[in-house]
Amino acid sequence: MQRLSFSSLALASVLSLVGCASEVVTTPGDPTSPTPADAGKTFATAEAAPKYEGTAFTAMQIFDAEKGVYLDEAALVAQLGEVKLVFFGEQHETAPVQELELWALTRMTAKFSDVSLAMEHFQRDEQPILDDYVAGNLTPEDFEKKSQPWPNYAKYWKPLVDHMKEKGRPVVGLNVPKEALDTLYAAYPKKPLEAFNALGDSFKYAGSIAPRPIPAPDDAFKAYFADNFDPNAHSNMGMKPAEALAYFTDLAVIRDETMGYFAAEEAKKGGRVLTVAGDFHAQTGLATPDRAVRYLGKDASAYRIVSTTPRTKLAEAMAKRVSDRKLARFWFVFDAK
């Protein structure tokens, strides 16, 4: 999602709250979380905190926006391990970002044996194909032909899927099937939410979308979507800007309800779920995360949000608020190579 620029004073004020001590041992509060020996360390300043290297990124550091401190990787994993749902907000097709997703995933699976990976990048109706691939029943070539992954899957997201295949852990498709969206488009000028809620159990893709009816989006979601919507991108459909905004707000909430529902269904199996999705869907929690915990019967304390930012835009990310919410709690702050 787009971020607005502003003074770096916001970050300085955050860091001033924690003084100049170099490091503090942190202990997770959940009694089911790792022992204190595994809890890692926190650091009051970037200068004292560790830096991590990758192929597409350099000098990555982990910032906890809630506490105003930096973490080492053990502290991050301990924090993420306290909840069943972790959402990683990404900028699509951005090499440092997808590599950082893999960085987080490999550390979570090294620590916890129950991690599933849920992805926006696969339609839910392709789940049997995902299962077959992870089980070793499909070649990579056959998998990519059958699963309808996003363009450039092999370059950006294949390493995540292959890591889960190596671990023998599930990869979960979250997205609305294209065929279901085509059904909604064909119902125009009926509003997408109205058409979606009218879909019965006999609909071919009924099991690959959120249960109906789903509620209309609240004002906070509408404002969040409007701030990220470009009406000119849909001018070829012949809609006026106000009509296009309402129409695509409906489609957005249908997508987030569906992704949240299937992330929650995976979490109900008892393990931890790392969901990888675009910034809009993950950041703030207003889109997919809030819906996932609603399906779980829990609140926002049941999830953590991770995102990324170039170091030069950290202060900008810290100061941005949407409906009084921060964009994310944990930030991977990096320099691109």
Q: Tell me the pLDDT tens digit for each residue of 34-92.
A: 445 578 999 999 999 999 999 999 999 999 999 999 999 999 999 999 999 999 999 99
pLDDT category of residue 21 using cuts at 50, 70 and 90: very low
Q: What is the mean pLDDT of residues 133-145?
A: 97
Q: Is residue 96 part of a domain?
A: yes
pLDDT of residue 25: 40
| Alpha helices by DSSP H, the chain | 9-16, 73-80, 95-111, 127-134, 140-146, 153-156, 158-167, 178-186, 192-197, 219-228, 241-267, 279-282, 288-296, 314-319
CA 50 to the chain's CA centroid: 25
Could you tell me which residues come within 8 angstroms of residue 16 by beta carbon, excluding any fewer than 6 positions away? none
pLDDT of residue 237: 72
Q: Is residue 314 part of a domain?
A: yes
Nearest to 61 by CA among 80, 41, 78, 81: 41
Rounded to whole angstroms, the Cα distance separating 122 from 144 reads 11
Rounded to whole angstroms, the Cα distance separating 115 from 105 reads 9
Q: What is the mean pLDDT of residues 235-239?
A: 70
The boundaries of the domain holding residue 164 are 9-336
Q: What is the mean pLDDT of residues 16-28?
A: 36
Q: Is residue 54 part of a domain?
A: yes
Q: Is the pLDDT score of 257 beyond 70?
A: yes
Q: Is residue 308 part of a domain?
A: yes
pLDDT of residue 7: 32
Q: What is the mean pLDDT of residues 244-260?
A: 97
pLDDT of residue 38: 76
Q: What is the mean pLDDT of residues 195-224?
A: 98
pLDDT of residue 6: 29
pLDDT category of residue 122 using cuts at 50, 70 and 90: very high
Residue type, 72: D
Nearest to 89 by CA among 332, 335, 334: 332
Q: Is the pLDDT score of 248 beyond 70?
A: yes
Q: Is residue 104 part of a domain?
A: yes
Q: What is the mean pLDDT of the chain?
A: 90
> Sign of torsion, CA 328 331 336 337?
negative
What end-to-end distance do the CA atoms of the chain give, in Å?
22
pLDDT digits (tens, 9 = 90+) for 142-195: 999 999 999 999 999 999 999 999 999 999 999 999 999 999 999 999 999 999
- In terms of pLDDT, which residue wins out, 30 or 319? 319
pLDDT of residue 20: 34
pLDDT category of residue 262 using cuts at 50, 70 and 90: very high
Q: Is the pLDDT score of 129 beyond 80?
A: yes
pLDDT category of residue 232 using cuts at 50, 70 and 90: confident
Q: Is the pLDDT score of 253 beyond 60?
A: yes
Q: Is residue 4 part of a domain?
A: no
Three-class secondary structure of residue 79 per DSSP: helix
Which two structure tokens, joined as six digits, stand for 264? Answer: 């929650």
297: CATH: 3.40.50.11550
Q: What is the mean pLDDT of residues 187-206?
A: 98
Q: What is the mean pLDDT of residues 214-239?
A: 86
Least reliable range by pLDDT among 37-46, 121-130, 160-169, 305-314: 37-46
Q: Is residue 48 part of a domain?
A: yes
Q: Is residue 98 part of a domain?
A: yes
Structural domain count of the chain:
1
pLDDT category of residue 304 using cuts at 50, 70 and 90: very high
pLDDT of residue 235: 56
